[in-house]
Chains A and B, each alone.
Chain A
Amino acid sequence: MELLKFNGITALVLKRVGLGLVTLWVISLLIFVGVEALPGDLAEAVLGQSATPETVAAFRKELKLDMPPHVRYFAWLGAFVKGDFGNSLANQRPVVDLISWRFANSLFLAGVTAMIAVPVAVLLGILAALYRNTLFDRLISMATLSTISFPEFFVAYILIALLSVQVVIFPSISNINEQMSFWQKLYAICLPCLTLAMVVTAHMMRQTRAAIINILSSPFIEMANLKGLRKLRVVVLHAFPNALSPVINVIALNLAYLVVGVVIVEVVFVYPGLGQLLVDSVSKRDIPVVQASGLIFAGTYVMLNLLADVLSIVSNPRLRNPR
């Protein structure tokens, strides 16, 4: 607390970044131990039914799977710290090549979705709180509720059925590749983007609304109301800044979800994102790929959470000026 008091937010951020790095290291260890603990190894998983003792042994030897686990972990860690992510065990390609364009794709989809979803969600949340219990509020509530009431893949299939099969507007698969221009890519991801936007908007909007309504019952808002300030002014200038903390948290969670948790949408729309690679690599026990992509995901999470924490502190006058 002393540190916080004297050096303020910068020190806090530095401390949290350090902790974030430790978190990532613990995660890398956990992932390694976790994948090691799975029955079977890459040699068996890749070869499947066509595994013979001979080919499995050849595979193992080539991949150094016959070495003890801790030796392999530290070898990996040493290389990783030097910036060498290693090669995929399954097909010997550099992990960086496998991951970088997929991660870029994941960020692209998440970014476009967030640019639509966040402003819409916050705006709708404020409006719903402002006009709570009116027809408008109810309609918005119903609409957002029903979008989160269906499984994601079902929303996706409905959108495909409507906008891709019945009326041919958007493509049903979003297998973007490097030969496509930015606009072609944007067009290709319309449906997955819409699917995800519907899901996250609903969640963020409802939290925003709940947080603002919660604040509206506080004495200082009553005071503002009594002073005869306009309702819109009260909500936007007085209630919203005080409700920011939970709202920011929910936005951070949803952003992280957009990067990390969209495997299903990737599968349905055949989108070459990182999630699919991760799931594949876990089932193939391809540890270097699991490690690298797991750490990227974890890093995204840690960073967004850190950002949310800092923003919460900055936005909350009470926390900003500790007594």
Chain B
Amino acid sequence: MNTPEALEKLFRSGKLSRREFIARMSALGLAAAVSPALLGTPALAASPKRGGRLRLGLNGGATSDTLDPGIQLAMMPQTLVYGTLANSLTEIDADGQPQPELAESWESTPDAKKWVFKLRKGVEFHNGKTMDADDVIYSLNWHRKEGTKSAAKPLVEAIVEMKKEDPYTIAFELASGNADFPYTLSDYHLVVGPKDTNLAEGVFTGGYKVETFEPGVRAFCTRNPNYFKSDRAWFDEVEILGINDVNARTNALKTGQIDVMNRCDLKTVHLFKRMPGIQVMRQDGFKHFTFAMRTDTAPYDNNDVRLALKYAVDREQMVKTILRGYGRVGNDHPISVANRYHASDLPQRQYDPDKAKFHLKKAGLSEATFKFHAAEAAFKGAVDAGVLFKETAAKAGITIDVVREPNDGYWNNVWMKKPFCAVFWGGRSTEDMMFSTAYAKGVAWNDTFWDHPRFNELLVAARAELDEQKRRGMYVEMQQIVSDEGGVVVPMFSADLAAASDKLEHGKLAANWELDGFRAPERWWYKS
């Protein structure tokens, strides 16, 4: 298999990452033979074809959806706005690396505090206006204007100053160094629309223009003939349908009424795989479930109690039962194998009733009962997960009471209120974003109320560190700290399962979001 032709084939079909490809070509002494054109378009395999209508049936649409990039709460608007209509300054490729999109290139000072972005020239909005630095600054400020509801506000607030140096150059000054700033700018909220317009109108730079949008029901888009990427957006039309019932999605795909569906039914996906004409796609992304303990509340303020509970979970069994095998065991920290600095050498925590007993005894709490709060709203199967937890913990002499909470209002009344509860996390594509969102001292979603001085110190240091090796070391240490001393049990990472007609083709899937980083409409095409 190690002939250049075979490697190229593997690479084009997405079975080999760009890095692996170059490494193995170099091993053959052939690095110089690699065509720059081939590497320039890493996600593309053999000659995509233009045309056709892509019909996506997606879970996660609501009648309250809007096109406002600041309020993108579920899969349907996210795929529509970020994946179909709009672009950010950068995008994340299939290997998890930031690539230029509306930006052409960037550079930073050594402390990662000041960044200069050069913009692509000749990019046109759907309304015909040409994009320049003013539009970018306006679009970023959209998220921190007076009375904003944008979830991206904290991201933009980290920018102290945005200066237009010339119409296609912007200088950013950050409050503190952030080596991941190009990642931040790939966020799906931070898309660019024309200056002084209402961004909720859906006018952006993307490969398609929105024709009709009925929130939660249907969006219909046609190809933007002036799209600045010639090698993307292959379809003539894109139709996104909100289908929240998983059986309805499955039937619609089976009967050919849609071409792509997200979130397959775990119960029937093994049957689905056997059907002719259907491809099932698995992405191991960042999505994970946690059992969050409030470290500021007794008895969870005692690390031995937390360790006892961590040892009392049978992670393999949970992945097998709750996820039906479509996922990976967690190691009590929120960093996924899809992240760049995942600590693969960290020993996997195993179910160990004896160690659990030992730590519980050390905490002097051998008779204690723990109330675990869960609801299906936390994540699908959360209550079942609680019941499994109860069973395995019982073998270690730990009594767990599973309290079933109402779905309605779970995030307001249970999460961050009850001392021990089930939580869903979509995860983040960078270690820094994940840790800063939920593990740093005092941040809004620090649901374990955790405060670890060494961890907090490392977080700031790693953020500004541009040296890869040093940075990796810091993030590995942080994962270890969370795993051993943090307030979360992370039993499992859930894979994303999507299915599509096998007439569709795509390169290696990006793992940052579902459906190729929400970008299926832009990146996929029909086979000829």
Which residues on A are within 8 Å of B, measured CB to CB? 38-40, 44-55, 58-59, 61-62, 88, 90-93, 98, 157, 160, 164-165, 168, 171-173, 175, 177-179, 267-270, 272, 276-277, 280-281, 283-284, 286, 289
Minimal Cβ-Cβ distance residue in B for A59: B149
Contact of B62 among A58, A165, A268, A284 (CB under 8 A): A284
Contact of B408 among A40, A93, A272 (CB under 8 A): A40
> Are B248 and A268 touching (Cβ within 8 A)?
yes
> Are B245 and A268 touching (Cβ within 8 A)?
yes
Give the complex CA separation of A268 and B413 in angstroms.
31
28 contacts between A and B (CB under 8 A): A38-B408, A39-B413, A40-B409, A48-B73, A50-B151, A53-B444, A54-B153, A55-B150, A58-B147, A58-B148, A88-B63, A88-B64, A91-B63, A164-B251, A165-B254, A165-B255, A172-B252, A173-B251, A173-B258, A177-B214, A177-B217, A178-B212, A268-B248, A270-B241, A280-B62, A280-B64, A284-B62, A289-B63
Give the complex CA separation of A177 and B55 in angstroms.
14
> Are B212 and A277 touching (Cβ within 8 A)?
no
> Are B409 and A281 touching (Cβ within 8 A)?
no
The minimal Cβ–Cβ distance linking B268 to chain A, given in whole angstroms, is 12
| Those of B450-486 within 8 Å (CB) of chain A | none
> Are A49 and B415 touching (Cβ within 8 A)?
yes
Give the complex CA separation of A267 and B257 in angstroms.
16
> Are A177 and B218 touching (Cβ within 8 A)?
yes
> Are A91 and B251 touching (Cβ within 8 A)?
no
> Are A175 and B241 touching (Cβ within 8 A)?
yes
Known: A53-B444, A58-B148, A177-B218. A46 touches B409 (CB 8 A): no
The minimal Cβ–Cβ distance linking A54 to chain B, given in whole angstroms, is 7
> Are B248 and A267 touching (Cβ within 8 A)?
yes
Minimal Cβ-Cβ distance residue in A for B74: A48
Give the complex CA separation of A177 and B219 in angstroms.
10
The minimal Cβ–Cβ distance linking A64 to chain B, given in whole angstroms, is 13
* Residues of B contacting A280 in the complex (Cβ-Cβ under 8 angstroms): 62-64, 216
The minimal Cβ–Cβ distance linking B313 to chain A, given in whole angstroms, is 22
Minimal Cβ-Cβ distance residue in B for A267: B245
Residue B65 at the A interface, CB < 8 A?
Answer: yes
> Are A277 and B151 touching (Cβ within 8 A)?
no
Known: A44-B412, A177-B212, A268-B245. A168 touches B255 (CB 8 A): yes
The minimal Cβ–Cβ distance linking B510 to chain A, given in whole angstroms, is 22
> Are B251 and A90 touching (Cβ within 8 A)?
no
* Residues of B contacting A44 in the complex (Cβ-Cβ under 8 angstroms): 409, 411-412
Residue B222 at the A interface, CB < 8 A?
Answer: no
Give the complex CA separation of A45 and B65 in angstroms.
13
Minimal Cβ-Cβ distance residue in A for B216: A280
The minimal Cβ–Cβ distance linking A150 to chain B, given in whole angstroms, is 15
Minimal Cβ-Cβ distance residue in B for A177: B218
> Are B65 and A173 touching (Cβ within 8 A)?
no
Give the complex CA separation of A92 and B150 in angstroms.
15
Residue B247 at the A interface, CB < 8 A?
Answer: yes
Contact of A91 among B148, B215, B258 (CB under 8 A): B215
| Those of B23-61 within 8 Å (CB) of chain A | 57
> Are B411 and A51 touching (Cβ within 8 A)?
yes
Give the complex CA separation of A179 and B239 in angstroms.
12
The minimal Cβ–Cβ distance linking A205 to chain B, given in whole angstroms, is 29
* Residues of B contacting A62 in the complex (Cβ-Cβ under 8 angstroms): 147, 149
> Are A268 and B151 touching (Cβ within 8 A)?
no
Minimal Cβ-Cβ distance residue in B for A39: B409
> Are B408 and A173 touching (Cβ within 8 A)?
no
Residue B526 at the A interface, CB < 8 A?
Answer: no
**9 closest Cβ contacts across the A-B interface?**
A90-B64, A172-B251, A91-B66, A49-B411, A52-B444, A173-B252, A40-B409, A172-B255, A280-B63
